[in-house]
A = this chain, B = another copy of it.
Amino acid sequence: MSDLLDTVRGLAKKTDSKILMVVLDGVGGLPLTLNGDTELATAQTPNLDALARESQLGLVELVGAGITPGSGPGHLSLFGYDPLRYVVGRGALSAVGIGVKLNSGDVAVRGNFATLGRDRLILDRRAGRPSDEKNVEIVTLLRQAIPEIDGVPVEIYTESEHRFVVVFRSQGGEGLGANLSDVDPQVTGVQPMLAQAQDPASAKTAGLVNAFVARAEATLKGEEQVNGVLFRGYSDVPHFPSFEDAYQLKAACIASYPMYKGLASLVGMDVLEVEGHEDALDGKVEALTQNWAKYDFFYFHVKKTDSTGEDGDFAEKVHKIEIFDELLPQLLALKPDVLAIVGDHSTPSKLLSHSWHPVPLLIRSEYGRRDMTARYTEEEAQKGSLGLRRGPDVMPLLMANALKLNKYGA
């Protein structure tokens, strides 16, 4: 299957121009009442308004019509990787989500703590949903008990409640396969299943998984509720063309939450240090400014526009948009050749969740046609000169506006 990325990859060239992609997480919204204003339309955003008047606007669907993107597919799409083609497995996404870097040949596995009764019969597939503190306590025990299996380093990480992640690190260039059957039978009243390899490359991994299960049960035999482990969702490292290989861009990620740093590192971006807590916007601007000379492309992530939508807090989402608006002049001062502002999905306060609605895209460069849109809002973007597009169109448009793509064909 060929897609736009394959084509762009053959046309990309190195130049001195700089691209800044600002992702306002979940920025798209909905009005609370029929034909009312969205969060973006409600916000007072003088700086964004001024920018919109000198930019091109459009709408972007990250995955497809009606499809609500998770953060992984939403970001991959913005980075130019068609999310229906480039799929990150659950294990890898979990590892990435907690900031664990995976290397080629490693396998990441999603685990659940479970409660086992007599004869190892599963009583509760989620071990009564333990607290995060209990999870950390159990993970600490397991780390001490299982630092390695047959010479393969084993890393165990807390996710939340009953969820944890195991990474088996490949040694000496021998990659571990990830094609094996689940330990989790998905029902209670039966024993955990034996993992079985479904191809030769995964035979060793199956042995590691089964040994892990046995040693974990031995370690946790004194526990009442959290005394077993179930595995489901194994994944090796996705084999994506790196960002540098695809676009000839030296790229940096400026984000503060593990999931986004993980996704960026998955496509080979450098993840810059950011000082500060939570969204740490000042620290992000500082990191951007300090590193401006060193990279061709910056992915600048703003999280709170999403979290406030997930909380169903319309007013607070409006406020977070206004906070970004205040920060915007500092980004403009760096004079990026191409500036994009976009979301990875919509998160309307009305729905308290991600949604399928297209997100507004703004591109400012020297090479746009007249575009009379006056604000960075969903409604204005719908009238914009860029039209309604799929997510993987965004990177080629940015590359083109940065004059970093050769002509296709003679």
Identify which of A114-122, A173-181, A387-395 touches chain B.
A387-395
Please report the C-alpha to C-alpha distance between residue A376 and residue B403 in the assembled complex, in whole angstroms: 27
Q: Which 3 pairs from chain A and chain B are nearest by CB?
A: A66-B396, A65-B393, A70-B409
A67:B8 contact, CB within 8 angstroms: yes
B369:A379 contact, CB within 8 angstroms: yes
Which of chain A's residues 38-61 have a Cβ closer than 8 Å to chain B? Answer: 38, 41, 53-54, 59
- Check: A93 CB closer than 8 A to any chain B CB: yes
Please report the C-alpha to C-alpha distance between residue A367 and residue B357 in the assembled complex, in whole angstroms: 9
Partner of A405 from the list B8, B31, B67, B408 (CB cut-off 8 Å) is B67
Chain B residues within an 8 Å CB radius of A34 = 54
Chain B residues within an 8 Å CB radius of A382 = 385, 387
Chain B residues within an 8 Å CB radius of A351 = 367
Please report the C-alpha to C-alpha distance between residue A80 and residue B68 in the assembled complex, in whole angstroms: 17
- Check: A400 CB closer than 8 A to any chain B CB: yes
A400:B4 contact, CB within 8 angstroms: no
- Whole-angstrom distance between the Cβ of A129 and the nearest chain B Cβ: 19
- Check: A97 CB closer than 8 A to any chain B CB: yes
Partner of A408 from the list B36, B70, B388 (CB cut-off 8 Å) is B70
This protein's copies in its complex: 2
Count of chain A residues with a beta carbon within 8 Å of a chain B beta carbon: 73
Chain B residues within an 8 Å CB radius of A353 = 407
What are 30 of the A-B contact pairs (CB < 8 Å)? A4-B64, A7-B63, A7-B67, A11-B67, A31-B369, A34-B54, A35-B371, A35-B372, A37-B370, A38-B369, A38-B370, A63-B408, A65-B397, A66-B401, A66-B405, A67-B396, A68-B405, A70-B409, A73-B408, A73-B409, A83-B408, A90-B410, A93-B409, A93-B410, A94-B410, A97-B410, A348-B367, A350-B367, A356-B397, A379-B385
Contact with B along A329-351 (1 / 0, CB 8 A): 00000000000000000001011
A379:B370 contact, CB within 8 angstroms: yes
Q: Which of A54, A66, A71, A353 has the most CB of B within 10 A?
A: A66
A38-B369, A66-B396 are known contacts; what are 10 more A-B pairs with Cβ within 8 Å? Answer: A1-B1, A31-B370, A34-B54, A59-B387, A65-B389, A68-B408, A356-B405, A357-B369, A387-B387, A387-B388
Please report the C-alpha to C-alpha distance between residue A66 and residue B350 in the assembled complex, in whole angstroms: 35
- Check: A105 CB closer than 8 A to any chain B CB: no
